[in-house]
Structure 1
Amino acid sequence: MYLIKINNLSIFRFAPTLFLTLLAGCSSIPTMVPDMAMQPKHAVQLDGAHGPLTAQQSKAVLARLKKNGDDTNIFDKHLALEAEIVGSPLVVGNKVELLIDGPTTYDAMFLAIENAKSSINMETFIIEDDEIGQRFAKLLISKQISGVQVNLIYDSVGSISTPKAFFKPLTESGVNVLEFNPINPLATRKGWDVNRRDHRKLLIVDGQVTFVGGINISSVYSSGSFGKSRSTKGDQQWRDTHLRLVGPVVNEFQKLFMATWNEQKGALLATRDYFPEQTNKGNEVVRAIGSSPEEPYSQIYVTLLSAINSAETRASLTNAYFVPDPKLLAALKEAVQRGVDVRLLLPEKTDSLMVFYASRSYYEELLCAGVKIYERRDALLHAKTAMIDGVWSTVGSTNLDWRSFTNNQEINAVLLGQDFGLQMQNMFEMDLESSTLITLDEWRARSISVRLKERAARLWARWL
C-alpha cells in the first residue's frame, strides 16, 4: 500500500494503479445500467443438485420459504427481481454458514483445506508474506505434495508488496500459481488494462465447499472485532464477513473460478473432479454472482440497485468503501421517501484516507434525505454486505464505489429467504451496538479543514 500526502491528506490507496491510470489518460467511465424490471416475464426457474426443478418442485420450495413470512408481497418482489437477472441460476439445496471476522473464517478455511482430497482452488486480491500468508502457503504446499491439486490466482496490484520469493516454494511443489493482470510490463498480456483488478476472495475445496466474502489472506484479519484480539500485526482489529457454503451452488462458484483461470491464460489444469455430483445439503436458495469489467454492466450492481429500488420496509447496508454513483445515491434517498428504513454502516477508521473523505462528502446529502448513517467504532470495518426487507441478502467482495462497479472482478453470494435474512439482521444490529449514529446537527459542526478534505477527495471519486 502506497500513500501520497497533499496538505496532510493521504490520497492514494494503491498509488501505482492510479499513477498508471493518469498516465494512460482520463478515459470515459462506463455507463452503469439502471435497475431491472420488477415484474417477471416468465415463471421463476430454480435449479437443484441435478439441474432445473420442475414447476411443481419450484412451487413447493417457494411456499416453504414464504410460510413464516408476513402477509405481504415482499418476498415475491425480490424473487421476481432475481428471476430477471441473467447469468447464473437461483440454486436450492444449499447450507450456508455466516462467518464473522478473520479468526473464525481462517479456522474454517484451514479445516477445509486440511481435509481436501482432490483439489483446492483459491482466488484472492491480497496474499501477504506474513504469519497468515505463510500458514496458508505451508498448508497448500503440504496438500499439493500429498496429491491434492492446488490452483492459486492472486492479483498483481493487491499483492504488490508480496515478494516473488514467497510464491517460489509454491510453484516448486507443483502448485499452479497465476498472477492476475501483471503490472510488470514484461509480463503483460494482450488487452492489458492496469485498472482491471481481481478483487475476488474465493476458496473452493474438492468442488464441495466454497468460501466467499471480504477477507483477504493477511495477518491484519487475525484479530476479531467483538472479542479478544489475536492480532499479530499491531493492535488494530478488523471487522469483516465471509460465508461458508456447501451444496449445488458450489458448482456455480467453480465455474467463475475456471472462467477467470482460462481468461488469464493459466496453465492447463491437472485432471481432477472439479465438478463432482452434488447433493442437497440444506434449505438455502443462493445465486453466485461474478462481475467483470468485460461484461456490459456489473451484475452485482444491477442486482443491488434493483433490490434497493424494490425495498418496502428496510435496507441495511454495510460497506468499507462507500463512494456511490448518482443512481445508487438516488436509490437510497428514494427508498426513504417510500417509507423504507435505510441504514448505512460505514467505517470510523480506514486504510484509505482518500476514500474515507470522499465517502463522508456524501453524508450531509444523505442525512438530509433521512438516511441513517452509523460509523463502526473500535475496529477497521472491511465488510461488504446488505440485507433488504429481511428476505434478500448478499455477502461478497463488492464495495459500493466506482472501482468495484466498473473496473474490478468481484464475486458475491445472493441469498433469498427469511431465515438467513434474520441472521444478517442480527449481525447488523450487533454491529450497531459498537457504532456511533451520525446526526445532521453534529455533522454540520465539523471543521472547515475537514470539509476541504472531503471536497478534494470528492474530485477523485470515479478513480478510487
Structure 2
Amino acid sequence: MKNTRPDLITLGITAVAASFVTLVIKNFVSGEKKIRKRIPRKYNIADPQFERSMSQLLGPPILDGNRIIALNNGVEIFPAMLAGIASAKTTITFETYIYWSGVVAEQFSNALSAKAREGVKVHVLIDGMGCDCVEGESLQRMKDAGVEVEVYHLHNLSRVNQRTHRKLLVIDGRMGFTGGVGIGDSWLGNADAEDHWRDTHYQVEGPVVAQFQAAFMDNWMKTHATVLHGDAYFPAIEEQGPHRCQMFKSSPMEGSESARLMYLLSITAAEKSLRVGNAYFVPDDLVTDTLIAAVRRGVTVEVLVPGQHLDSALVRRSSRHRWGRLLRNGVRVFEYQPTMYHCKVMIIDDLWVSVGSANFDNRSFRLNDEANLNVFDREFALRECGEFLKDKENAREVTWEEWKHRPLAEKAGDAAAALLRSQV
C-alpha cells in the first residue's frame, strides 16, 4: 500500500499556509476601491451644501441644541469623567482603546464597580490591543461587581489588525464624553511635565448624545451580540445649549473610506484657514495633494504635531518623511515641544471643527473604528482656535530648508519607516 503520510503532511502544510495568507489578506489588504482622485471643490464651509453633505452623504445628521465643554489635560478631564460616572442613575456605556494599568485605571475600575453594585447597568468595551490588563485585577474587579466587560477583537484572528480606537463614555443616555484621552497615567497632570501628555476631551449634553450612544452600540452588538435599547439608553433629550454637531463614526466593516472622505471633503471646502493638530500625522498622497491645493487657492494651512516627545519613533519618522512636498508648497508644520501632543483637532474657517479619536494616518482612515465630534459653530471654533494658537506658542516651526538638509542617516531612517506607514 502506498504511504500516504507525506501527502497528509503536504496537505497540512498547504492548509496552514493558505490560512495564514487568508489572515494576512483580511487584516492588511482591503478589497474596497479607494478614492484616488482629488475631490472637486463645489462649495465652501459656510455654504448650506457643505452641511447637507456632512449630514446626508456621511451622516448622521447635524443636530441643534447641544452644550459642549472642552476639558484640557488630565487635571480637568479625569475628574469630570469620574463625576459623570458617579452621577449615573440608570446606565453607563464606556468604550475606549487604551486601558493601561495604573492609578487612572484603578480610579475608573473602582468608580464603575461602585455604580454596578448600586444597580446601574454598566457596559465596558475595550480594545484587546490597547489594553495591557485584559487579565488584570482592574477588569476582574469590574466583572466581579457586575460590570459587563467585553474585549474587542482580541481572539478574532481575522480582525486582529482592526481595532476600536473610539473614546466614548455615555451617562444615562444624556451626557457624553469623547476626545483623545485614554485610561492611562500618561494623561495625568496638566501637560506640565514630559510624562504628562497634552490632550483635550469634551463633555457634551443635548440631542447629539444619542449619536454617541448609537456609536457605542455599533461595536457592542458586534462584540456582545446583544441590543441595549429603551429609555434607559435612549431617553428623550431636550436641547441644552447653542452648539450644532454630529457624532461621526467610521469602521472598516462599514466603509473604510468614510473617515478619510470626511477629512477630504472638509479640507476641499476650506476657504480661508485650516488648522490641524494631530498626534499621528502621516498623510497619504491624496490627502497631501488636497492640502497643497488648499494652499494654492489662498488657504492658510498650519499643522501642529508632536516633537521629540512621541510614543512611537516609527510614527515620527514616517510623518517627517511625508513633510517634504507639504513644506515646499506652503504648508506650515510645527512641532510641540514640552511633552507628547496627543490632541486630534481640525478647525476650518473658524466655523467647522472635528475633534475626537481619528488621526491623520492610514490606520484611522482604513483600519480602526473611529468616532469624531463634528461641530458647526463659530463660537466653539474660535475657542478651539485659541487653544491651537496657545499650543503653537509652545512649538517650533520646521522649515523646508531645515527638512531638506537633514542628515543623510536621518533621511534614510525616515524613508525606511515610511515603507510601513500603512500600519503606523
- TM exceeding 0.5: yes
The whole-number CA distance in structure 2 between the counterparts of 1:177 and 1:81 is: 36
The whole-number CA distance in structure 1 between the counterparts of 2:172 and 2:391 is: 34
Deviation of residue 297 (structure 1)?
Answer: 3.4
Whether 2:143 is the aligned partner of 1:143: answer: no
Q: 2:339 aligns with which of 379, 396, 401?
A: 379
Q: Judging changes above 3 Å, is the alpha-carbon distance between structure 1 residues 152 and 451 closer, same or farther for their aligned structure 2 residues?
A: same
Q: Judging changes above 3 Å, is the alpha-carbon distance between structure 1 residues 27 and 395 closer, same or farther for their aligned structure 2 residues?
A: closer
Q: 1:284 aligns with which of 233, 243, 246?
A: 243
Whether 2:25 is the aligned partner of 1:32: answer: no
Mapping for residues 238-387 of structure 1, pairs under 5 Å? 238-266=197-225, 273-348=232-307, 349-387=309-347
Offset from partner CA, 1:337-387 (integer Å, 9 cap, x none): 001000000110210111110000012211101000000011101111100
Mapping for residues 12-51 of structure 1, pairs under 5 Å? 24=24, 27-29=28-30, 30-33=32-35
Mapping for residues 83-162 of structure 1, pairs under 5 Å? 83-160=55-132, 162=134
The whole-number CA distance in structure 2 between the counterparts of 1:267 and 1:307 is: 35
The secondary structure found in structure 2 opposite 1:308 is helix
Q: 1:427 aligns with which of 378, 384, 387?
A: 387
The one-letter amino acid paired with 1:24 is: V
| TM-score, normalised with respect to structure 1 | 0.82
Whether 2:51 is the aligned partner of 1:79: answer: yes
Offset from partner CA, 1:119-153 (integer Å, 9 cap, x none): 11000001122100000000111111111111000
Offset from partner CA, 1:34-71 (integer Å, 9 cap, x none): 6777669xxxxxxxxxxxxxxxxxxxxxxxxxxxxxxx
Q: Is the 8 A contact 1:36 1:84 kept in 2?
A: no
The secondary structure found in structure 1 opposite 2:333 is strand
The secondary structure found in structure 2 opposite 1:289 is strand
Paired residue total: 401
The secondary structure found in structure 1 opposite 2:253 is coil
The whole-number CA distance in structure 2 between the counterparts of 1:424 and 1:75 is: 21
The secondary structure found in structure 2 opposite 1:197 is coil
C-alpha RMSD over aligned residues: 2.3
| TM-score, normalised with respect to structure 2 | 0.89
Higher helix share: 2
The whole-number CA distance in structure 2 between the counterparts of 1:252 and 1:37 is: 30
Unmatched 5+ stretches in structure 1: 1-19, 41-71, 230-234
Aligned to 2:166: 200
The one-letter amino acid paired with 2:24 is: A
Mapping for residues 391-430 of structure 1, pairs under 5 Å? 391-430=351-390
Offset from partner CA, 1:205-245 (integer Å, 9 cap, x none): 010110011100001100222xx55xxxxx51211121111
Q: Is the 8 A contact 1:36 1:81 kept in 2?
A: no
Unmatched 5+ stretches in structure 2: 1-19
Deviation of residue 74 (structure 1)?
Answer: 3.2
Deviation of residue 87 (structure 1)?
Answer: 2.8
The whole-number CA distance in structure 2 between the counterparts of 1:246 and 1:366 is: 38
Aligned to 2:16: none
The secondary structure found in structure 2 opposite 1:140 is helix
Answer with 437-446 or 411-420: which moved more.
437-446
The whole-number CA distance in structure 2 between the counterparts of 1:89 and 1:37 is: 23
Q: Judging changes above 3 Å, is the alpha-carbon distance between structure 1 residues 120 and 391 closer, same or farther for their aligned structure 2 residues?
A: same
Q: 1:440 aligns with which of 392, 400, 413?
A: 400
The whole-number CA distance in structure 2 between the counterparts of 1:89 and 1:80 is: 8
Q: Is the 8 A contact 1:320 1:347 kept in 2?
A: yes
Deviation of residue 86 (structure 1)?
Answer: 3.2
Mapping for residues 167-246 of structure 1, pairs under 5 Å? 167-183=139-155, 188=156, 192-225=158-191, 228=192, 235-246=194-205
Q: Is the 8 A contact 1:38 1:81 kept in 2?
A: no
Equivalent pairs: percent with the same residue? Answer: 30
The secondary structure found in structure 2 opposite 1:398 is coil
Q: Judging changes above 3 Å, is the alpha-carbon distance between structure 1 residues 319 and 436 closer, same or farther for their aligned structure 2 residues?
A: same
The whole-number CA distance in structure 2 between the counterparts of 1:22 and 1:326 is: 28
The whole-number CA distance in structure 1 between the counterparts of 2:22 and 2:327 is: 33
Q: Judging changes above 3 Å, is the alpha-carbon distance between structure 1 residues 113 and 197 closer, same or farther for their aligned structure 2 residues?
A: same
The whole-number CA distance in structure 2 between the counterparts of 1:336 and 1:440 is: 15
Q: Judging changes above 3 Å, is the alpha-carbon distance between structure 1 residues 83 and 152 closer, same or farther for their aligned structure 2 residues?
A: closer
